[in-house]
């Protein structure tokens, strides 16, 4: 038997928790019938689902926690073409052992630093050319001290 909340306060009637996810359940009469709303976020949007009873709302919230924790609630957000592109990107990154999110983070950071002044590949080529011009020769400490003292005397 469904429980009808006796309070007039705003806010959730109950919060269903699990796997680090909290899903609030709100009492929300609809067209003169008792009903409850289950609210959650998926696909970067707030979603709400209506349930006819508190028990049905609790059951749906538990199902959603499972879906959200395994990622199946977000599966429908990508088209087949987008999924293929993501899979290809992940495969390209596997040999260098870089996760997709880290690669994207670094790419965005590099592009922001370039501020429209060329591509990342051009920046790398320029850096390597300048780096190759610098010739460091090994020197022993006594020789370095002698050179230093000679330079400050002049």
Three state DSSP letters for 17-51: EECCEEEEEEECCECCECCEEEEEEECCEEEEEEE
* pLDDT tens digits for range 118-144: 899 999 999 998 888 888 888 999 999
pLDDT of residue 135: 80
Within 8 A by CB and 6+ apart from 117, the residues are: none
Within 8 A by CB and 6+ apart from 17, the residues are: 23, 65
**Does position 51 have pLDDT exceeding 90, yes or no?**
yes
Helices 100-114 and 120-133 pack at an angle, to 10 degrees, of: 70
For the entire predicted model, the pTM comes to: 0.44
pLDDT of residue 53: 92
pLDDT of residue 73: 61
**Does position 50 have pLDDT exceeding 90, yes or no?**
yes
Q: Is 117 exposed, middle or buried (0-12, 13-18, 19+ CB in 10 A)?
A: exposed
* pLDDT tens digits for range 72-91: 665 556 778 888 898 999 99
């Amino acid at each position: 038997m469904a429980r009808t909340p006796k309070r007039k306060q705003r806010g959730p009637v109950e919060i269903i928790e699990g796997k680090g996810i909290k899903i609030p359940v709100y009492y929300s009469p609809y067209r003169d019938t008792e009903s409850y709303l289950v609210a959650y976020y998926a696909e970067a949007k707030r979603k709400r689902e209506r349930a006819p009873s508190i028990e049905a709302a609790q059951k749906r919230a538990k199902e959603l926690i499972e879906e959200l924790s395994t990622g199946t609630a977000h599966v429908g957000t990508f088209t087949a073409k987008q999924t293929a592109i993501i899979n290809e990107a992940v495969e390209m990154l596997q040999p260098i052992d870089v996760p997709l999110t880290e690669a994207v983070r670094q790419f965005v950071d590099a592009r922001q630093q370039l501020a429209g002044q060329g591509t990342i590949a051009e920046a790398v080529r320029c850096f390597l050319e300048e780096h190759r011009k610098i010739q460091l020769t090994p020197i022993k400490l006594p020789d370095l001290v002698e050179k230093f003292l000679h330079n400050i005397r002049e």
